[in-house]
Chain A
């Protein structure tokens, strides 16, 4: 997951402030020097960093925090606000045209991930009930058309291609076919090109003039360094971008690009690519990302994920059970299965506040197998045992261990965890109301 390095550095820099009752100008300046280095190491553009540090220092040293009760916290809040502002404030979506089809054009450097992202976006829109079509306009890279056909096929979206024909011509033909077949979104995949390649940039201009796309999206590799702003600027000046898609955010990049691109071009980041699967695309939420950078966790995304994976009605039932402390191992099992629907454990835990993903991955991540083992243990119990674990005696334990291919110790550990968990739930009843409001009854959190 991206941003951990930056998070760690920023947290360390700001931690020194949060403990203090009074802040001197020197304290702030010192912390800001650390913040500056952290941002530079995260590949945030030099000029953007300069600007950012200046802004935060001004606000922090000014009377804004001098009257505050916890000045340190106040600085963190200022940094958070400025980070969010830097990334574009609110979430931006694709603008759909009033008269169909909406034409989306993907542009970018070589290897930024245009073809994969085009397919991911098409798949996402299809799942949202739209009827998209992909157009193969990368006539240069060997086998690029074939690649789009394969990924298009995987997401179940038709791909229009005319071989190595002139891209403008291909796009025109595609558009008229899309109208005839009543497609509502047309996504054009273009060849990767350098922003200083006059000839190929000109081709994009012509493509723009002839098909008049509603959205021109720049696909940017999240690992890009200082040059990102030059690239984004050039494409923007030439074509007038509508937004940016960041790819490969699932690595350990500190993702400084996210901060730079919007600041320099004024164009919002609309989506982020988070993995190799064709469903790994997410809308970009600047405020959530800012919280993530500061290590405040990304509870909102977590809740989104939970809502997608969890049956509303079952959740309500569970909530009731929790309240009445009738939570059984059977419910535990069900919870676990739903949790696994939400994605990899490591990813989920990474969204929680205060979790340092760096340390987590250094420890080899979370053991998904542990979950599978636990599932096997519970499944090897009888119904009665699941309802009432207290009846599980030594011989039952032996049988369960045999049945699940684990050891008696494993069974013991599970039972102990479950008991602790039940106790914890009792204590939780006081904060239960807030859980309910957050529509987030998962006991694991």
Chain B
């Protein structure tokens, strides 16, 4: 995927995040000058305010304390670099390149209102631009007007869509879409699903069923199960990732709404605790505003000096 211009785009998207986090850290460092207990405490506060979460923040801080001691770091300024390195380490750990083989099938899942349908629209556009032929499956047969919403996105992206009516069986929609993908020899099939809270057993079972249909009907395709997370979400995102992973094998995360003031720090915790790679980030409402995730750019942009 094209990496040029990504950094700039990401920086704009993360502008707010960067400003708030680094401005405060810089202020902090200027104020303190040298390493002391207050500095650690306030760095921890900053991490928590960024939604990194208590346990991951503490683990990060422990690691930084260790390194500061071991490397005999005296200046507060350098602690920031260490923090940046450690965050990047977590995000990069075990991260294999996202190498897509075609035909590919995406199953897009997540709780209500995180932006699944919009992300699918943007994703389809991304592939269409690469000259791939995309088909969408309108698998959200539950929410009112979800099918219409996806159809509008299909038109915008210029791809085809397989749909049934509201209330139809989502598994059947996916089944039909797979047959259509094979018959039309499309490259990518992207399946929408209804938003569901990860705690609803029945709804999670429905997802496993759809997953099994894909396994059975389309084994030759590379299967990617994308969990869409809202950057505004706090610690619950961890629980979402954990429980969705239990029913379907999540292969990657798309984090949306990073263009707000939410810091999205929970991805660090998710990577740290569940080792699910982040694949895409949504940084705006336009059809182009979906970017492949890159750990270095992400952390660089987050800590870039203003």
A-B contact pairs, 14 of them (CB 8 A): A40-B48, A41-B54, A43-B235, A111-B112, A111-B257, A142-B148, A142-B152, A143-B152, A151-B144, A223-B230, A223-B236, A224-B232, A224-B233, A226-B48
Report the count of interface residues on B (CB-CB < 8 A): 45
Q: By the criterion CB–CB under 8 Å, are B233 and A221 in contact?
A: yes
Question: Please, what's the 1-or-0 string for A217-258, where 1 marks a CB less than 8 Å from any CB in chain B?
Answer: 000010111111011000000000000000010111110100
Which residue from A37, A143, A250, A364 sits with its C-beta under 8 Å from B149? Answer: A143
B260 — which chain A residues lie within 8 A by C-beta?
Answer: 109, 194-196, 227, 231
- Min CB distance B25 to A, Å, is 15
Which residue from B45, B113, B235 sits with its C-beta under 8 Å from A112? Answer: B113
In the complex, besides A109-B260, A142-B153, A226-B48, 19 extra interface pairs with C-beta distance below 8 angstroms are: A46-B49, A111-B112, A112-B113, A142-B148, A143-B151, A147-B144, A150-B144, A223-B111, A224-B233, A225-B232, A225-B235, A226-B49, A227-B232, A227-B260, A248-B112, A251-B111, A252-B198, A253-B239, A361-B199
A46/B48 contact (C-beta < 8 A), A110-B257, A251-B111, A251-B198 known: yes
Interface: B270 (CB within 8 A): no
Q: How far is the CA of A254 from the CA of B240 in the complex (A)?
A: 13
Please report whether the interface of chain A is mostly helix, strand, loop or mixed according to DSSP.
loop
Q: How far is the CA of A381 from the CA of B198 in the complex (A)?
A: 41
Interface: B146 (CB within 8 A): yes
Which residue, of A225, A251, A256, has the highest number of chain B Cβ atoms within 10 A? A225
A361 — which chain B residues lie within 8 A by C-beta?
Answer: 199
A31 — which chain B residues lie within 8 A by C-beta?
Answer: none
Q: By the criterion CB–CB under 8 Å, are A227 and B262 in contact?
A: yes
Q: By the criterion CB–CB under 8 Å, are B51 and A226 in contact?
A: yes
A196/B16 contact (C-beta < 8 A), A225-B266, A251-B197 known: yes
Which B-chain residue is minimally distant from A49 (CB atoms)?
B48
A residues adjacent to B (C-beta < 8 A): 37, 40-43, 46, 109-113, 141-144, 146-147, 149-151, 154, 194-196, 221, 223-228, 230-231, 248, 250-254, 256, 276, 361, 364-365
Q: By the criterion CB–CB under 8 Å, are A365 and B201 in contact?
A: yes
A253 — which chain B residues lie within 8 A by C-beta?
Answer: 236, 239
Q: By the criterion CB–CB under 8 Å, are B198 and A147 in contact?
A: no
B111 — which chain A residues lie within 8 A by C-beta?
Answer: 223, 248, 251
Which residue from B142, B145, B230 sits with its C-beta under 8 Å from A143? Answer: B145
Which residue from A37, A227, A248, A276 sits with its C-beta under 8 Å from B51? Answer: A227
A227 — which chain B residues lie within 8 A by C-beta?
Answer: 51, 232, 234, 260-263
Which residue from A110, A142, A149, A195 sits with its C-beta under 8 Å from B115? Answer: A110
Q: How far is the CA of A113 from the CA of B111 in the complex (A)?
A: 12
Q: By the criterion CB–CB under 8 Å, are A221 and B146 in contact?
A: no
Q: By the criterion CB–CB under 8 Å, are A40 and B198 in contact?
A: no
A248 — which chain B residues lie within 8 A by C-beta?
Answer: 111-113, 197
B262 — which chain A residues lie within 8 A by C-beta?
Answer: 225, 227
Which residue, of B55, B111, B113, B266, has the highest number of chain A Cβ atoms within 10 A? B113
Q: How far is the CA of A37 from the CA of B152 in the complex (A)?
A: 45
Q: How far is the CA of A156 from the CA of B163 in the complex (A)?
A: 27
B63 — which chain A residues lie within 8 A by C-beta?
Answer: none
Q: By the criterion CB–CB under 8 Å, are B16 and A109 in contact?
A: no
Q: By the criterion CB–CB under 8 Å, are A41 and B232 in contact?
A: no
Which B-chain residue is minimally distant from A141 (CB atoms)?
B149
Interface: B187 (CB within 8 A): no
Interface: B114 (CB within 8 A): yes
Q: How far is the CA of A67 from the CA of B11 in the complex (A)?
A: 58
B45 — which chain A residues lie within 8 A by C-beta?
Answer: 46
The 6 closest A-B pairs by CB, nearest first: A225-B234, A111-B113, A150-B144, A43-B234, A142-B152, A147-B145
Interface: B259 (CB within 8 A): yes
Interface members, chain B 259-280 (any A CB < 8 Å)? 259-263, 266
A110 — which chain B residues lie within 8 A by C-beta?
Answer: 113, 115, 257
A225/B199 contact (C-beta < 8 A), A46-B45, A142-B152 known: no
Interface members, chain B 30-55 (any A CB < 8 Å)? 45, 48-51, 53-55
Q: By the criterion CB–CB under 8 Å, are B113 and A226 in contact?
A: no
Interface: B101 (CB within 8 A): no
A226/B112 contact (C-beta < 8 A), A43-B234, A43-B236 known: no
Which B-chain residue is minimally distant from A113 (CB atoms)?
B113
Q: How far is the CA of A110 from the CA of B195 in the complex (A)?
A: 14
A151 — which chain B residues lie within 8 A by C-beta?
Answer: 144
Q: By the criterion CB–CB under 8 Å, are A143 and B146 in contact?
A: yes
Q: How far is the CA of A78 from the CA of B111 in the complex (A)?
A: 36
- Min CB distance A230 to B, Å, is 5
A230 — which chain B residues lie within 8 A by C-beta?
Answer: 261
B50 — which chain A residues lie within 8 A by C-beta?
Answer: 226
Q: By the criterion CB–CB under 8 Å, are B197 and A221 in contact?
A: no
Which B-chain residue is minimally distant from A278 (CB atoms)?
B144
Q: By the criterion CB–CB under 8 Å, are B232 and A221 in contact?
A: yes
Which residue from B49, B146, B199, B234 sits with its C-beta under 8 Å from A252? Answer: B199
Q: How far is the CA of A361 from the CA of B199 in the complex (A)?
A: 9
A252 — which chain B residues lie within 8 A by C-beta?
Answer: 197-199, 236, 239
Interface: B74 (CB within 8 A): no
Q: By the criterion CB–CB under 8 Å, are A250 and B233 in contact?
A: no
Q: How far is the CA of A60 from the CA of B153 in the complex (A)?
A: 57
Q: How far is the CA of A221 from the CA of B53 in the complex (A)?
A: 18
Which A-chain residue is minimally distant from B112 (CB atoms)?
A248
Which residue from B48, B151, B199, B230 sits with its C-beta under 8 Å from A221? Answer: B230
Q: By the criterion CB–CB under 8 Å, are B197 and A225 in contact?
A: no
Q: By the criterion CB–CB under 8 Å, are A221 and B113 in contact?
A: yes
Q: By the criterion CB–CB under 8 Å, are B235 and A251 in contact?
A: no
Q: How far is the CA of A411 from the CA of B190 in the complex (A)?
A: 51
A154 — which chain B residues lie within 8 A by C-beta?
Answer: 144
- Min CB distance B197 to A, Å, is 4
Q: By the criterion CB–CB under 8 Å, are A146 and B148 in contact?
A: yes
Q: How far is the CA of A225 from the CA of B142 in the complex (A)?
A: 27
